A = this chain, B = another copy of it.
Amino acid sequence: MVSPAAGSPRTPTRVLVIDDEPQLVRALVINLKARAYDVDTAHDGATALRVAADRRPDVVVLDLGLPDMDGVQVIKGLRGWSRVPILVLSARHSSDEKVQALDAGADDYVTKPFGMDELLARLRAAVRRAEPVGDEADMTVETEEFTVDLAAKKVDRGGRDVRLTPTEWHLLEVLVRNADKLVGQRQLLQEVWGPSYGTETNYLRVYMAQLRRKLEADPSHPRHFITEPGMGYRFEK
């Protein structure tokens, strides 16, 4: 419900687990990998900071009881250059330590022993709130002749904005989101005009013509909006 991300098989979430207890690490790694996370591990603070810089994890799970340095120092070390979500584990229930860790920049604090379900849920929550807004980065598709910005809902052609009607834009959006793939006319009709449509192919002809007229260099010999006779249409860069 958050973002459909049609066609983009998002790279797996990368987790960095920092802990010096082999058993706990193993349990975490197994559970995380089973859920298709990409996992790195570090057994002490110094390594952790190095690995974090190298691998740029999407979320960090940090045990405060490390052999070489104080956990809070690790948090500060990370926060010096990164806003990656940090989920702290600790055997200590002391309120003081929680406050210290959280104020140093941790995002969450879980006391051992903990339920794996809960930890994973907290991890999902941390990842979820870290990502969504910025996914408008590569929401823009360029061709030689024009540029489509899906986030801003703008089409640029030779420095000038192209004015599209709602239906035209909707049609364009579906095609661009499925770039290089054939989109059947039924699917196109249902996505743009609604589920009760499916045979009114004349609509498609009219609006494809409009799109080509506004975007193609030579509308009668389209290079980007290709007709696949009897099947549908395809957008190509």
Identify the A interface with B (CB < 8 A). Answer: 2, 83, 85, 95-96, 98-99, 102-103, 105-109, 115, 117-118, 120-122, 124-125, 128-129, 133, 151-154, 165-166, 169, 180-182, 228-231, 234
Q: Note all chain B residues with C-beta closer than 8 A to A230.
A: 165-166
Contacts of A151 in B (CB 8 A): 181
Q: For the complex, what is the distance from the CA of A124 to the CA of B108, rounded to whole Å?
A: 11
Chain B contacts for A166, CB-based, 8 A: 229-231
Cβ B153 vs Cβ A228 within 8 A: yes
A128 to B166, CA, bound (A): 33
Docked pose: A128 CA to B118 CA in angstroms: 23
In the assembled complex, the CB of A184 is this many whole angstroms from the nearest CB of chain B, namely 9
In the complex, residue of chain B having the shortest beta-carbon distance to the beta carbon of A152: B181
Pairwise interchain contact A153-B169, C-beta atoms closer than 8 A = no
Tell me the complex Cα distance, A131–B93, Å.
28
State whether A95 and B118 are in contact (beta carbons under 8 Å apart), knowing that A166-B231, A181-B151 are contacts in the complex: yes
Min distance, Cβ A92 to any Cβ of chain B, angstroms: 12
Q: Which residues of B contact A124 (CB under 8 A)?
A: 102-103
In Å, the complex CA distance between A120 and B228 comes to 43
Interface-central residue, A83, A85, A102, A103, by most chain B CB under 10 Å: A102
Could you show 5 A-B contacts with beta carbons less than 8 Å apart?
A: A2-B105, A85-B129, A99-B118, A153-B182, A154-B180
What's the least CB distance linking A179 to chain B, in Å? 9
On chain B, the residues within 8 Å of A229 by CB distance are 165-166
Q: B133 and A117: CB pair below 8 A? A: no
| A117 cross-chain contacts in B, Cβ below 8 A | 95-96, 98-99
